């Protein structure tokens, strides 16, 4: 199982940074794109710089309908022939209007869902922003990927742990914590400690919050475009 950051707020040449988030996951026979970033040109540049393409993409997982996670959608749909789309509730009409030229199987997710092959959705969570997270099972434990974690990264992580029945090995993605009080951060760290072994914050987490997490949590790996993670698959 391999995971590559395609789009993030932080990036060094030859990659381009931008406000948004996208991750490419290879898991057995599945090739999953998690979100598409904000700008199709940045997404295309980073894919080219990494020597990657989306022609054999099997799954497109969309966390929530904000432009910094959906802006590259047109680029993705132009380059694939068929795909399974997993989207949170409320996005069906928007997506059907844009996938007419693609053989796509549209799956609208509300409740926690088994996506097959050790992949799971947390189900759509939150009140104001409805968002889902992706869970990938590996031999080292579950990996939770979040777009912005609007429902609360601790709540999403707890649901992911409960779904797979064991402690997570990593929570990765945007945590939407910029400007959050120190008291809330201390509570967050205390809640995440029993749930996951490591954190990989990026996108909307915030620089000061990332520094706080690095100082307060035992294992933190800040994200940047091109960052790659790999695990043994849970076979």
Q: What is the pLDDT of residues 210-220, one digit of tens each?
A: 999 999 999 99
Work out the percent of the chain whose per-residue pLDDT is above 70.
Answer: 99
pLDDT in tens, 80-114: 988 999 999 999 999 998 888 788 999 999 999 99
Angle at 142 between CA 226 and CA 170, to 5 degrees: 50
Backbone angles phi, psi at 188, to 5 degrees: -60, -45
3-class SS at 173? strand
pLDDT of residue 100: 81
- Distances, alpha carbon 141 to alpha carbons 87, 120, 138, 168, 194, in Å: 24, 13, 5, 5, 13
pLDDT greater than 80 at residue 233: no
pLDDT greater than 70 at residue 235: no
- Domains of the chain, residue spans: 2-223
**Mean residue pLDDT across the chain:** 96
pLDDT in tens, 156-200: 999 999 999 999 999 999 999 999 999 999 999 999 999 999 999
End-to-end CA distance of the chain: 11
pLDDT of residue 137: 95
CATH 3.40.50.150 for the 2-223 domain, yes or no = no
Residue 154 burial by Cβ neighbours in a 10 Å radius (0-12, 13-18, 19+): buried
């Amino acid at each position: 199982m391999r995971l590559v950051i395609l789009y993030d707020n932080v990036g060094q040449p030859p990659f381009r940074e931008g406000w948004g988030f996208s991750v490419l996951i290879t898991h057995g026979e599945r090739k999953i794109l998690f979100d598409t970033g904000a700008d199709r040109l940045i997404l295309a540049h980073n894919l080219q710089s990494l020597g990657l393409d989306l022609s054999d993409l099997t799954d497109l997982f969309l966390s929530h309908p904000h432009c910094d996670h959906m802006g590259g959608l047109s680029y993705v749909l132009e380059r694939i022939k068929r795909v399974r789309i997993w989207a949170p509730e409320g996005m069906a009409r928007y997506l059907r209007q844009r996938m007419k030229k693609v053989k796509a199987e549209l799956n609208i997710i509300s409740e926690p869902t088994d996506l097959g092959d050790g992949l799971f959705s947390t189900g759509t969570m939150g009140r104001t922003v409805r968002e889902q997270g992706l869970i990938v099972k590996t031999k080292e434990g579950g990996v939770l990927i979040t777009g912005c974690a609007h429902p609360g990264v601790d709540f999403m992580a707890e649901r992911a742990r409960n779904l797979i029945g064991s402690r997570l090995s990593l929570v990765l993605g945007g945590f939407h914590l910029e400007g959050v009080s120190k008291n809330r951060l201390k509570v967050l760290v205390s809640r995440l400690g029993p749930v996951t072994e490591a954190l990989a914050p990026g996108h909307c987490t915030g620089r000061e919050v990332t520094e706080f997490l690095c100082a307060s949590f035992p294992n933190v790996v800040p994200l940047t475009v091109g960052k790659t993670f790999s695990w043994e698959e849970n076979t």
